[in-house]
Structure formats: structure tokens, C-alpha cells
Chains A and B, each alone.
Chain A
Amino acid sequence: MRYHLKDLADVIRSKNSGPYELTFDIMFKTEDIYKRVCTADVINKTSFASLYKISTDDIMEVIHFHPAKAIKVTIVRPVSSGDLRETDVYGAQQHAPLMNFSFDMEL
């Protein structure tokens, strides 16, 4: 069945983790959904890299954090915070592609 990430999560957010990293948190609505998404392995280095059109080498971590029913992805910031090419100093609005992310997952 086809799912949209924004329908399965209570929180989808992005933020700087220091000036050289961006980190994305996805907190799922229920433990069941969290476990199914983890098992289905739909959010991994490959899918995230293709979503953001970046190299998998620039994905530092994909972490499953059970206490918060969350998957966290931390990447190399394309430019350091406040660089001349900056468009989002806090990195707080880089999550939109994740909201639109859709994938197939078995029930």
C-alpha cells in the first residue's frame, strides 16, 4: 500500500546541528507505525539521498530512536550556516520534501 510520510508522523522537522550539519527528525504517530517503517527500511541512506538529490556519502547517520518513536537523519550541510549561498540560517525549513515523501509498505 502507498503511504505519505506526513500521514504517519506527528512531527517532521529539520534544524541545524551545529553550523556544518542539518538534522531531520521524524516522530511517528504510534509505536506500531514506527516499528513497521523501521522494519520496511523505507527511510535509509539511499532513499534520503535520492529525495534530496545528494550523495549517500553526505548522509552521516540514519538512527532509529525508540524512546521517541523517531527516525533521525543527519547530513552534511550543503553550505555552512550563514555562508554566502545561505537560504535558511537555522535550517528549520528544509523538511518539505520529507512531508511529500511517499513509499510502498506492506501492512
Chain B
Amino acid sequence: MEELKILSPTAILGYGFPMDSWEEGMRREPDVIAVDAGSTDPGPYYLGAGISFTDREAVKRDLTIMIPAALKNGIPVIIGTAGGCGAAPHLQWNKEIIEEIAREQKLSFSLAVIPSDIKKSTITESLQKGSITPLYPAPELTQADIDDAVHVVAQMGVEPIVKALTEGAQVILTGRAYDPVVFAALAFYKGYDKGLAMHLGKILECAAIAATPGSGSDCMFGYIGKDYFRVEPLNPIRKCTTLSVAAHTLYEKTNPYVLPGPGGILDLSETTFTQETDSIVRVAGSRFNPTHPYNVKLEGVKKVGCRTVSFAAVADPVMISQIDEITKAVKARVKDNFTGLGDYFLDFKVYGRNTIGKTGVMGIFGDTSNHAAPESQPLELAIIIDAVAPIQETANTICSFARSTLLHYGYPGRISTAGNLAFPFSPSDIKMGDVYEFCMYHVMEVTDPCELFPATIIKFDGGDIK
């Protein structure tokens, strides 16, 4: 079985790559160029708002290099999770970038666009049939979550991409896709071992992050054979070592031996890592165990309100010594003044304490103040006043009132009577707009892995859509 060769230019479309690495990759005559564009890491906002966390010009730069080169070599380009989240507006955004490149370069090719948006009626039906399960620790799904959801996408597996390849698509742009599948699809299509193809995809999806020194904006090259695969960085300053490649399987995963995805579980319990040259690692023994029924993961977010924040700092030692009592008193004052204003959320994020926990970096854990630094009291504190309310105007009101109250609050022993806060900016308050939270992170059973992901084929002729 001849080796199949896969070029991964960058960890996220738009993160860029050096031209020298790219040319090294093209010299190795890849059979496919694939790139992942997505992540849930930047939080729920981007899926909710329908915008990308990557920059348009940066995405266009990467694709302007990738697409013409692939067409010239007669190999496919596969882009996963368009626009970072893969919902309809993200897909449209990336499609327009591709159309622009096609026009500018007068390109002729066939583009498959595979959406991943899931209709609410489909989810409700599945919920009623009992074919939706929460991914622990996500809570049980309720009809209210479905009703409240702004965008819901499902992570596609390899099958819709393989289908587009069989239909002759030269560029494939997908909605939300399980990160490794854009790299694994051609290998699945050509009959390579699924476990190896998926594991290789798992490494290539982060490009050179699995090398040492790692980088999210440099290329990685993969070779898959009958019973092994190999990974090679394309920049001479980087090496793949058995440690760097094995360590990557830990990254952002619950358990490095068991990696569930659409339609199956990747089992790495028997995987071996061998140093082939000083920069190439050979991997074998990874297995793909199909699951029945076929499951896809749903991701959905709901809008919870609008946010206004204010950034301020404190240097007064008397105030610093009482900061918790003062913020508590200000919260009470705000509540007392705006009882009729309805629901709102007000928080003071206080940074710079000598304890880890409470409201700083580790505020999500609550009070973990056993991790105290030895010094007695910090010299400065930063405070972010965070107000969220159903409408922007209410958030503005709460933030503004909390800020002015804190600024002039007369705490016991106060001697700096002109003002309690140092504001670095004017205006001091920033309207941040809509706030979203995840409301769906569940698996849904499907009978056909392609049923939720119907592709549209667009043909370009000299840059124009035929």
C-alpha cells in the first residue's frame, strides 16, 4: 500500500505559516491539503454571534496560498469548521472569502459546502425519542434549552466529506466538523486503517503544535501507510520526538487512551511511538472502534443578556484592606437603588490579591485561599466591574451606578476623600454587547452519518459561478 501524504499548513486557518515550510510541504507532493478552522476554546460568544474569532484578511491570506496551489497539483483542499464555529453565518463568511479568491485569480474548480446547522424540530424529535444524551458533565437537555438556543451545530464525521470527495469536489468547506476528520477523510476514502487515519488527523489538526518547539502557525506533514503513520515538521528548527507527539495526545482531552468522536472511539491503549529520524516519529497500533448507533455531538448556545464592564484600579492601602466588605456594600447599594429594574448580574472581579481564589484568576473555584502568598497585603488591585442584564441599557445603568458608588464609597477609616478608583480610560465603561452561554453539549443518534449534513456543490469557471 503506497503512502498517502497529507499537508497541514497551520493549526487554525488564519493563524498563518512560513512560506519556506509551505514549500517544503509542497515538494513532498501531498495528496491532500487540509486545515481545521475551529475551536470551542474562545467560548460561547462566537457561535452565538455568528462571527469568527479569526481575522478575515488572515484567513484570506492562508487560502490564497492553499487553493491555487492545490488546484495546480490536482489535489483537494479540505477546510473544517468554517469561521471558527461552523454555523450558517460562519460558513457564509468563509464561502465569500473563497468566492473572492476565485474571482481575483480567475480559478475554475468545484466547491462543496457542507452545512452543519441542526433544525430545532430535529432536536426536539430526537429528545422525545430519547436519542439525545448529555456529555457528562453537561446537564440533561430540556425543551427550554432547545427553544432558547441561538445556533446549534453538530460535529460531522468523515462521511459527508468522503461523499463530497467521491462527487469530485476540489475544495471542501465544512460547517462544524470533528477536528481530525478533514485530515482523515481522504485516507478513509482510500481504504487506509481508520484508527491510524483518525489518530494522524488528531495530531495534524494542531499542525506543528505536536513538534518541539511547538507552534500553532507552522506546517506539519503526515504520511500514512498500511499499518503505521509518520509525522514530520517542515521547519528545520522543529523536531517531532516520541515525547512531543505522545504528549500531544493529552492536549485538551479528557483521557489520552480513549477519544470518542462521531461514529466511533479512537483507542490508543496499544499505540507505539518510535523515533524514525531525528525529526520524524512513526506511530502504530491505534485502533478505531465504531459505535452503534452512530452518534454526533451537538453544540449550542443561548443568549443570556448584554454586558457592560468598567476597568479600574486601587492603590490606597486602607481601601485594599477592606476590599471585600466594600464591594459587598456597593452591591447592596446598587440593589437598593434599582429594585424595580428586574434581573441583573453584578460582579467585581478583583485581581492582584495575595491569595489564589476568591475573585481573581481562579474565581471559578470560589474561595481556595489556602494558596496564599507569604506577603501581607498587595500594593495594588485591579477591579473589573461586570454587569450583565437582559438589555444593554440596564447593563449600562448597573455598571455605571456600581462604578460611581465604588468611586465615592465612604468606607471606615477613609482618608483619600477625592475618589477611590484609578481609571486608565475615558470613557470608563465599555459596552460589550450580547452575552451567550453554552446550553447544548450532547450526543445525538443518527441513522445516516450524512443525513444532517447536505452538501451543495458550486462550480467556478474562470472565477465566475456557473
Query: A residues within 8 Å of B by Cβ?
Result: 11, 15-21, 23, 25, 27, 52-54, 58, 60-61, 63, 65, 67-70, 72, 74, 76-90, 93-94, 96-97, 100
Q: Is B291 on the interface with A (CB-CB < 8 A)? A: no
Q: Is the CB of A20 within 8 A of B441?
A: yes
A89 touches B364 (CB 8 A): no
Known contacts A20-B441, A65-B256, A85-B347, A15 near B251 by CB under 8 Å: yes
Known interface pairs A79-B364, A89-B42, A97-B368; A17-B246 also in contact (CB < 8 Å): no
- How many residues belonging to B are interface residues under a CB distance threshold of 8 Å? 49
A68 touches B246 (CB 8 A): yes
B379 beta carbon closer than 8 Å to chain A? no
Would you give the 0/1 interface string for B333-371, flagging 1 where the beta carbon is closer than 8 Å to chain A? 000000000000101010000001101111111111011
- Once bound together, how far apart are the Cα atoms of A27 and B41, in whole Å? 22
Residue of B nearest to A90 (CB): B41
Question: When the two chains form their complex, are residues A19 and B44 in contact, meaning their CB atoms are under 8 A apart?
Answer: yes
Q: Is the CB of B255 within 8 A of A72?
A: yes
Chain B interface (Cβ < 8 Å from any Cβ of A): 40-45, 135-138, 242-243, 246-247, 249-257, 271, 273, 304, 345, 347, 349, 356-357, 359-368, 370-371, 388, 435-438, 441
Q: How far is the CB of B3 from the nearest CB of chain A, in Å?
A: 23
Known contacts A70-B250, A100-B371, A84 near B243 by CB under 8 Å? no
A residues within 8 A CB of B357? 53
Task: Contact check, B371 vs A96: say whether CB atoms are below 8 A apart.
Answer: yes
A93 CB contacts on chain B under 8 angstroms: 361-362
Closest 10 CB pairs of A and B: A67-B246, A82-B43, A87-B363, A68-B247, A82-B44, A76-B137, A89-B43, A68-B246, A78-B364, A19-B438
Bound state CA distance, A15 and B251, in angstroms? 8
* Chain A residues with CB below 8 A from B438, complex form: 19-20, 80-82
CA distance A93 to B364 in the complex (A): 11
B247/A70 in contact, CB under 8 A: yes
**Chain B residues within an 8 Å CB radius of A67:** 242-243, 246, 249, 271, 273
Whether B252 pairs with A78 at a CB distance below 8 angstroms is no
CB < 8 Å neighbour of B44 from A81, A94, A97: A81
Across the two chains, which residue of chain B brings its CB closest to A76? B137
A18-B441, A53-B370 are contacts. A65–B250 as well, Cβ < 8 Å? yes
Contacts of B135 in A (CB 8 A): 18, 20
A84 to B252, CA, bound (A): 22
On whether the beta carbons of A87 and B364 are closer than 8 Å, the reply is yes
Beyond A68-B249, A68-B250, A78-B366, whether A87 also contacts B359 by CB under 8 A is yes
A37-B132 Cα distance, complex, nearest whole Å:
40
Question: What chain B residues lie within 8 Å of A20 (beta carbons)?
Answer: 135, 137-138, 438, 441
A72 in contact with B250 given A18-B135, A54-B365, A100-B371 (CB within 8 Å): yes
Besides A53-B365, A81-B43, 12 other A-B contacts (C-beta < 8 A): A19-B138, A20-B441, A25-B247, A52-B365, A53-B368, A77-B137, A80-B138, A84-B347, A84-B388, A86-B364, A87-B363, A90-B41
